[in-house]
Amino acid sequence: MSSNIAEASLDFLCVGLNHETSPLEIRDALVMNEAEVGRAIEALRGRAGAEEAIVLSTCNRTEIYARGARVSDLPLFVNDLLREIKGMDLGARGHRLYAYRDPESVRHLFRVACGLNSQVLGEPQIVGQVKDALTLAARSGGSGPVTERLLDAALRCAKRARTETSIGRGPISSVYAAVSLASKVLGSLGQRRALLVGSGEMAGRSICHLMDSGVSQFTIAARNRERAEALASRAGSAVVRVVSLEAIPVVLPGADIVVSATASPGFVLHEPAVRGAMKIRKNRPLLLIDLAVPRDIDPAAARLPNVFLHDLDALAAIVAQSLEQRRAEVPGVELIVDEEVTRFMRWYRSLMLKPTVTAFRSHFERIAQEELERHRARFRPEDQPAAESLTRSIVQKLLHRPTTRLNRAGEDGNTGIRRIDAVRDLFGIEREEGTDEDRDTR
């Protein structure tokens, strides 16, 4: 018997690096744009002979997924490909690259989609990044029926993780925690106004999170007006105005939320300015978020009525509590990943099971029909329908038990695979490439 377990394998490999294996400067240097992803997929399909290929490239990971690659050392091929496209040599043997073969490659992808393999546990952005990777693969000719089904399964796995567990709940960054606090202190943020002091990365993250929470009116107070205006241009439909740092006392009374994140060596917002603003506001609640080190906001402002001041230490405590809660959800998410990997691999095994069962039955039905034709002249015309019915009945009874066992083979892992291979070998059944069953993956 020529048992061919490799034929039953998905032949799906993942090669890549992430925040656990490579420093930020390497990860940043390897982030691919759409054109570069297209080049990578073209090389994987053409030179490496992959049937399907997908590239997932973000600031935290660059991973290449390939099905059916015909190169003996895919990590080395990927290493050379990254040097060719991005100009970075990771070593002659790609020593910084990890590699997974199915089913571990499938498991890895599902864990990535669920946020288990993210720098911030359970972060939600990875779901959109996986969707984008599939879209780019489709545009570049890299996706196919198996990888499309695979990424659909990964996204379903991620959705289950977020609805059946709390892996995606609670603030996961200081900025996220600040916005969560704003909702708790002020209620709905739809009609609130925000003042951002500074125009750097923290201010950029803050405006994104605040917009996601419904804030649509912003003032940016910054020393670098050009950079502040660039930040304002990213605010889409929000109403944004840019002022100087000196104008803070003037614009402060109109703000409900103040997020300050500058590199100033001293306070940029002093207690007297806050006290004056609260008089104009008639003591309506004011939330002050200080994301700077050293601090931007005078701590004395917290003693004023209806002024709520939170600095990085306070926000870090909230984030730590949230992450602890997320870590407690990891075992539940891992169980979901196990179930979805099993479900997907069972589906894949069914791709070769269906044509085998069909060919097995056709083999016996064809022999029965040939023998019936050979001896048809021995029957009177009026007896031929009965002979045909009897022949069909015998074949059906003979095939019932083995067909039932074969149909269960997809659920029996490698044992089932060996059973299918044995049937092929015993009855000379060759797998036909490109059958309807193989193509019908939806």
**Does 199 count as an annotated binding residue?**
yes
**Does 21 count as an annotated binding residue?**
no
Give 219's strand partners. 195, 241
What is the token pair recorded at 424? 């092929």
Half-sphere exposure of 217 (CA within 13 A, CB side): 10
**Does 123 count as an annotated binding residue?**
yes
Give 311's strand partners. 290
114 is catalytic: no
**Does 384 count as an annotated binding residue?**
no
**Does 396 count as an annotated binding residue?**
no
Strand, coil or helix: what is 100? strand
| Inter-helix orientation angle 312-374/384-407, to 10° | 150
**Does 200 count as an annotated binding residue?**
yes
**Does 118 count as an annotated binding residue?**
yes
**Does 45 count as an annotated binding residue?**
no
**Does 373 count as an annotated binding residue?**
no
**Does 92 count as an annotated binding residue?**
no
> What is the C-alpha separation between 161 and 336, in angstroms, rounded?
7
What is the token pair recorded at 249? 């006392």
> What is the C-alpha separation between 418 and 3, in angstroms, rounded?
6
Strand arrangement of the beta sheet that strand 217-221 belongs to: 239-243, 217-221, 193-197, 257-260, 286-290, 307-311
> What is the C-alpha separation between 58 and 89, in angstroms, rounded?
19
Strand arrangement of the beta sheet that strand 98-101 belongs to: 52-57, 61-67, 12-18, 98-101
**Does 278 count as an annotated binding residue?**
no
Active-site residue among 59, 114, 157, 208?
59
In one letter, which amino acid is 244? S
Interstrand relation of 12-18 and 61-67 (parallel, antiparallel or unpaired): antiparallel
**Does 191 count as an annotated binding residue?**
no
Strand, coil or helix: what is 123? coil
Interstrand relation of 61-67 and 52-57 (parallel, antiparallel or unpaired): antiparallel
Q: Is the separation of the CB atoms in 290 and 298 below 8 Å?
A: no
Exposed/middle/buried for residue 288 (C-beta within 10 Å: 0-12, 13-18, 19+): buried
Q: Is the alpha carbon torsion for 12, 15, 21, 22 positive or negative? A: negative
**Does 34 count as an annotated binding residue?**
no
Q: Binding-site residues for NADP(+), please?
A: 198-203
Q: Please identify every residue annotated as catalytic.
A: 59
Q: Binding-site residues for substrate, please?
A: 58-61, 118, 123-125, 129
Q: Binding-site residues, please?
A: 58-61, 118, 123-125, 129, 198-203
